[in-house]
Every structure is written in C-alpha cells, then in structure tokens.
Homo-oligomer: A and B are copies of this chain.
Amino acid sequence: MSPTERLLFPPGIPTAKLSEAIQHPSHIKIRYFKLTINALPSRYLLACGNVSWESTYPDDWMQERSSMPFQCLPILEISSSQHGTGDKESGTSVVLAETTAVEFYLANLVGMMGDNEYEKYTIMALHSSSKAIMDNFATYCAFNVPEAMPKAFQKWRDEYLPQWVTIQDKHLVANGSNGHYIGDKLTLADIRAAVVINYFESQPDAKVWMGIISKSEALMKLKAKVESHPPIAALRASDEYKQHVEGTVGMFSTMSPWTQKL
C-alpha cells in the first residue's frame, strides 16, 4: 500500500474548520525517527501539556518520504473530536509540518509562547538563534562533504559554538542567571536551548563541545532547569526516550571525533 499523501489543504475542508480542529486537539501523533534531535523540543512540549499524544515512526522512510508535505519529519497528525475534521473515528487527521511551525503551535497550545505579543516574538527570536545553530552544525559539519571536515570542525570549535554561547549567556545573565530567558517562566526559548546542548552532548566530540558550553554557568543552569521540570524529567526517564538517545548516539558515532585531530 502506498503511503497516504499528506496535503497541506485537504480538498473541500475550509481552513476555518481545520483551524478549529487544531485548536481543540483530542490526540496528537508526532511522526519522526527513533532519534531526539528535531523532535525533542516538540516531545518535551507535548509532555508538558494535557492532550494525549504518542510518537510514531516511519516503517519505510524512502517509500513514505514523498508523501510528506516537505519531504521531511517531524510532522504532527492532529485528531480532533470537534467540527468533523481530524476525527479519530473517520481516521482523518490534520497535518502540521516543519519543525519551527510545529514547535510554535505546540508551545502556544501548552502556554509556553509568552504572555503577550512582545514575549512571543522575542521567544521566536531566541528560538531562531538556537535552532539556527543546530541547523548550521548539521549542514556545515555533520553532512558536509568529506573534504570540508577538518576546517569545518575547527571553525565550529573556535568560532561558531563559542559565539552562540556568548550570545545566550548575555541574555540569560541579563535576566538574573535564573535558568530562564524571560522572568521565571519556562518557555520554548529555554527548551530549544536545552535541546541544543543535548544535541552536542550526544556526539563523539561531546567533551570538546561541552567544554565550550559549560563556560556559561547560566546555560548549564537553564539545561538543569529544563531537564528537571517534572513532566520533562518523566519523559527522559522513559524507555522510549532512552531508545531515541541510543539512536542519536549511534547515528552520530558514524562521524569521527574530528575536533580531537585538530
């Protein structure tokens, strides 16, 4: 059976109806690989909410890939008992795609996008700064052509990662080094930054990367706060999460520990 095409706009359903459905979800599936990385912020957010949810995984990614709205994961499949769309019984669900859009939707759903428009756009900016550094590492180091590797890793160690740490530290210190970017609230900005650190912790060069990151006490405090938040701590203690970590470490282990050769 060929995989169901995930359309952005299912024919015949007004967007106002889809909008009602995603605002009143009854069950959410997050579809991604057995990895942490770009599904981890969403899984943390889902753990903090009160909508039932589950992780699903592609059986045969190569076969299923072209049925995805942007040929990539994660996506959300949102069921809603309201308004005749995304109905569990009819087997249909509303699809949201692209990591940033998915995280903004979920953060808004669980109350972690700030208390007003200014906080919202500032959380988006902080999120962008942290997501960009992960995307940049993936493109520039993890998936660059082999010829680029030594210089690319060197640039990352000596320039890109220290710069990200300096920027985050400045904002965290300005907020009193309490482990949050805004007031004493846990927001998507905190969660994305904690996931960046988690990403570097999972790599063969973890010792080098963590040596740079841990120079910021404020960032390490943020990481501890996010990871000890009860619903997130419970998720991290689950067998499923441990499988995702194993998968991630395994994937990264195919990269040599480059920085040690520099």
Contacts and interface: CB of A to CB of B under 8 A. Distances in A.
A24 to B, nearest CB: 11
Contacts of A9: 122, 174-175, 182
For A129, A145, A163, the residue with the greatest tally of chain B CB atoms inside 10 Å of its CB is A145
A151 B140 contact: no
A156 B105 CA distance: 31
Contacts of A147: 147-148, 151
Contacts of A175: 9
Contacts of A174: 7-9
A213 interface: no
A81 interface: no
B151 A145 contact: yes
Interface stretch (A11-19, A41-49, A56-64, A193-201): A11-19
Interface string A91-119: 00010111111001100000000111111
Contacts of A155: 145
Contacts of A94: 118
A253 interface: no
Contacts of A54: none
Given A8-B174, A128-B101, A144-B140, A15 B121 contact: no
A142 B29 CA distance: 37
30 contacts: A7-B174, A8-B174, A15-B115, A15-B116, A15-B118, A16-B115, A16-B116, A16-B118, A18-B118, A19-B116, A19-B117, A19-B118, A21-B118, A70-B128, A70-B167, A71-B163, A98-B124, A98-B125, A98-B129, A100-B100, A101-B121, A101-B122, A101-B124, A101-B128, A132-B135, A139-B140, A140-B144, A144-B144, A147-B148, A147-B151
